[in-house]
Amino acid sequence: MLTIKEKIAEIKKKIDEALANVKFTKSLYEIKMKFMGKGGEVSDLSKSMRDVAPEDRPEVGKQINELRCWADGKFGELDEKLKAEELERKYAEEKIDVTMPVRESAEGAYHPNTLIRNELVSVFSGMGFEVFEGPEIENDYYNFTALNTPKDHPARDMQDTFYLSNDLLLRTQTSAGQIRVMENKKPPIKILSPGKVYRSDDDATHSPMFSQMEGLVVDRGITLCDLKGMLDEFAKKIFGEDVKTRLRPSYFPFTEPSVEVDVSCFECGGKGCRLCKGTGWIEVLGAGMVNRRVLQGCGIDPDEYTGFAFGMGIERIAMLKYGINNMKLLFEGDVRFLKQFKD
Ligand code: PHE
């Protein structure tokens, strides 16, 4: 039989051996449990105190205690060392090289149409306009009849229409939205209506689908002067502070009088250049005073209220502003073209 002293020495030796090759705190913990935990060799040693003669117990107890302290110290020390090593390894693995070049991510850009649309909405909402978006599939009434363009009206030929059925069509103009607004809202009305429109038309400056921005103001005492004043403001904000506007007589069934609006050429300042084809002026939109018959049809008394309306092609404004010579570029979705546009 080994004496307690010998047993202690043996356990110490075993612990030393067990700890010699430990690399991870997890295995260290397992070893610790094996010796110090319930049923472990050190705990068993304490249990064997029962068999020790009463007079020897204080001395033996002291020796067992010393063993515990010694073992706790060993495990504790090694635990700290291994933890530090593990942390080092973790840091090394997760190390980030901040000098490494970043992976280039493709940066998106707004489509020129969106840029112009946003700019127009921002300019006009600054003047108190609210945005209204009508449907792209319209019926004959909203797109034509209510806009004073009945079935046999020659002005229907001004726009080649895509019909979906006898009555349904792809709207040819955002003006259709004017009627929807006036039917539902009584003056004062001040709305801006952007959206896609469709016409059977296809060349360098026309596309079967394009975008328009419509404006409508109806209130007591609205005159052509108000339209002119608002257009001056619009031209300055969109094309530049020195840009002027001029009105030329024109014809639209739903406005009377009707005008074509030109802005002075922002490229040459009006002297005449390629952009303005030597005239010093560039046509940008159609407008006019809302025809009495249109107001009447929407239940608005034309003797009490008057209004003006205007409509412009967003692609046209984008082409003028950014110097784009072919409208197709705006619809092809070529990223090399599109990413050149930033606000
Ligand atoms: N709807 C007309 C067009 O598409 C433009 C316009 C709008 C003219 C409002 C006058 C008033 O050509």
Closest CA to 290 of 305, 271, 312: 305
Query: 310 CB under 6 A from ligand 1?
Result: yes
pLDDT value of position 1: 62
Q: Whose CA is nearest to atom 2 of ligand 1?
A: 311
From 138, 161, 175, 250, mutation site for ligand 1 pocket: most ligand atoms within 8 A of C-beta: 175
Give the position, in ligand 1's atom list, of the atom nearest the Cα of 172: 4
The full 3-state SS of 193-243, as one line of letters, equals EEEEEECCCCECCECCEEEEEEEEEEECCCCHHHHHHHHHHHHHHHHCCCC
Q: What is the mean pLDDT of residues 135-140?
A: 96
Distance between CA atoms of residues 49 and 146, nearest Å: 109
Q: What is the pLDDT of residues 315-337, one digit of tens each?
A: 999 999 998 988 899 999 998 89
Tens of pLDDT, residues 67-112: 999 999 999 999 999 999 999 999 999 988 889 898 888 778 899 9
What's the Cα-to-Cα distance from 206 to each of 88, 147, 301, 307, rounded to whole Å? 67, 23, 37, 29
Architecture of domain 112-332: 2-Layer Sandwich (3.30)
pLDDT digits (tens, 9 = 90+) for 142-166: 999 999 999 888 777 767 899 999 9
Q: Could you state, in order of their start, the residue ranges of all structural domains in the chain?
A: 4-94, 112-332
User: Model confidence at 3, in pLDDT bands (50, 70, 90)?
Assistant: confident
Query: What share of the chain in percent tops pLDDT 90?
Result: 71
Protein residue closest via CA to atom 6 of ligand 1: 311
